Structure 1
Amino acid sequence: MVNDILSGIPWGIFLSFMIGPVFFILIETSITKGFRAALVFDLGVILGDIVFISIAYLGSYRLIQSLKDKPALFIFGGIVMLSYGIISFIKLKKVDNLPDDVLNNEILKKNYGSLLVKGFFLNIINIGVLGFWLAIIISMGPKLDMKTSRMMTFFITVILSYLLVDCIKIVLAKKLKTKMTPTNILKIKKGISIVLMIFGVVLITQGWFPKEKEMVKNALEKIDK
């Protein structure tokens, strides 16, 4: 059990520092809305990871199998993310010229339910994350004898390590909040919207040049063997 825990910690740390839209939005949420809001957003992301782990480990691999022949899934996820970034940017443009006190109220609103859904949504539309979890199962499963108890220990450790490191990132990012004016925060949120657009384009590109699809295909071939 101790070895399974020690095996999971590095994966959790690695996952926390993977650069993607979730990474940037977590930092932005911490700076603009505080620790609790960022933590709720992160819990939504983790919920998405749990869904992907369940699909990869407990499912019949139907969805994963479809990735081999349906790069449209990447394109769909990319279009959704790109659209989300564009809509967010346009909404921020509309509040650009508001007085600072009104602007502050607009951009610092805290809706924990929507933050949870936002974290889950942004994670679940990135099909590459499913490929990531499948790759972990392929590489670590045999070492854990594919025993449910050992796999549970491993994945719980990965998730908890990931959450702990994210909490440290949230606390460090929150220290910047005192230096943020409403105008600067608005600029950061616009920057995050642009980041979402970029990652959306990357996902769409993966649909046309599907490196992620090849990774999943190879993983499936290993399973078949």
Structure 2
Amino acid sequence: MIDDIQAAIPLGFLLSFMIGPVFFVLLETSATKGFRAGVSLDIGVILADIVFLLIAYFSSFQLLENLSNEPGLFVFGGMILLVYGIFLFVKKAKKKSNVKASKGTYLGLLVKGFLLNFINIGVLAFWLGLIIVVGPSLENNPNRMMVFFSTVLLVYFATDLIKILLAKQLKRYLTQERIVLIKKGLGIVLIICGIVLIIKGFLPKERFDIQEKIENIEYL
């Protein structure tokens, strides 16, 4: 369980800095309306992620069961990450100055955060690809997957709280050029991960069966 938590922490931190509409609305809301307003919006965003995560998990559960030890699993998951990475790399950044936070109650901001995230179908595709890729390493164990993804979301939310506190300073340093570089950097990382998984799916399984190789050495 400790290993699963340690593996989830960097991912949760990385997800918090995925540049998109929600990112800028969160900064805008926090800077103009204060900490509580930013937290309310962010809770809505997290709730949408939880809904997407549940949809992705239950829709891929049978797939995970059928392809648990099959190379097609790596190819399928790798293709999703590859396409998502290419999308991030080639998509042009929109001017953040055009994003404005509207006035509303804390409940209204929560609903707004939920809808902003929920209408982005790319988020569902991302969670689906992540579950398919991570599932086998967690032995498709529901308890381990719950611990892993709960940790991802908790770290994601904790990092967002820091962003909310530093909203005004962060907005000042996020120039258009830096936004483009961050997006392209994230895109390249996802593209590389996708290609590695696709290659792994086409290579013989024995090359990656490290445990079996260790056991063979012990019998020499």
With the shorter chain as reference, the TM-score category is 0.5 to 0.7
Cα distance in 1 for residues equivalent to 2:112 and 2:102: 15
| 1:145 and 2:139 matched | yes
Q: Report the residue type matching 2:166 in the other structure.
A: L
3-state DSSP class of the match of 1:18? coil
Report the AA paired with residue 153 of structure 1: V
Q: Distance in 2 between matches of 1:139 and 1:113?
A: 35
- C-alpha separation between the residues in 2 aligned to 1:173 and 1:34? 9
TM alignment of 1:1-225, pairs within 5 A: 1-59=1-59, 109-174=103-168
Distance 1:164 1:29 in 2: 17
How much does 1:55 deviate?
Answer: 0.4
Looking at structure 1, the residues matched to 2 and 40 of structure 2 have their Cα atoms a distance apart, in angstroms, of 29
Q: Is the alpha carbon distance of 1:116 and 1:38 closer, same or farther for their aligned partners in structure 2, counting shifts above 3 Å?
A: same
Q: SS of 2:166's equivalent?
A: helix
**2:24 is matched by which residue type in structure 1?**
F
Contact 1:39 1:167 in 2 (8 A): yes
Q: Please give the secondary structure, in 2, of the residue aligned with 1:146.
A: coil
Instruction: Measure the CA separation in 1 of the matches of 2:116 and 2:168.
Output: 22
Residue type of the alignment partner of 1:53: L
Q: For the Cα contact (< 8 Å) 2:60–2:128, is it kept in 1?
A: no
| Closer, same or farther: CA 110–132 of 1 in aligned 2, 3 Å | same
- Size of the alignment, in residue pairs? 145
Distance apart, 1:144 and its partner CA: 0.3
Cα distance in 2 for partners of 1:18, 1:118 equals: 19
How many Å apart are 1:7 and its aligned residue?
1.1
Give the TM-score of the pair, scaled to structure 2.
Answer: 0.58
CA offsets, 1:151-208, max 9 Å, x none? Answer: 000011000000011000100115689x9xxxxxxxxxxxxxxxxxxxxxxxxxxxxx
In the alignment, the residues of structure 2 paired with residue 128 and residue 158 of structure 1 have an alpha-carbon distance, to the nearest angstrom, of 18
* Partner Cα distance (1:60, 1:47) in 2: 20
CA distance change for structure 1 residues 119 and 108 in 2, over 3 Å: closer, same or farther? closer
Report how far residue 119 of structure 1 moved: 0.5
Distance change (3 Å), C-alpha of 1:128 and 1:176:
closer
TM-score by length of 1: 0.57
Counterpart of 2:78 in structure 1 is none
What is the RMSD of the two structures over their aligned residues, measured on CA atoms? 3.4
Structure 2 letter corresponding to 1:123: N
* Distance of 1:167 and 1:113 partners within structure 2: 18
Percent identity over the alignment is: 58
Counterpart code for 1:18 = M
How far residue 58 of structure 1 moved from its aligned partner, in angstroms, is 1.8
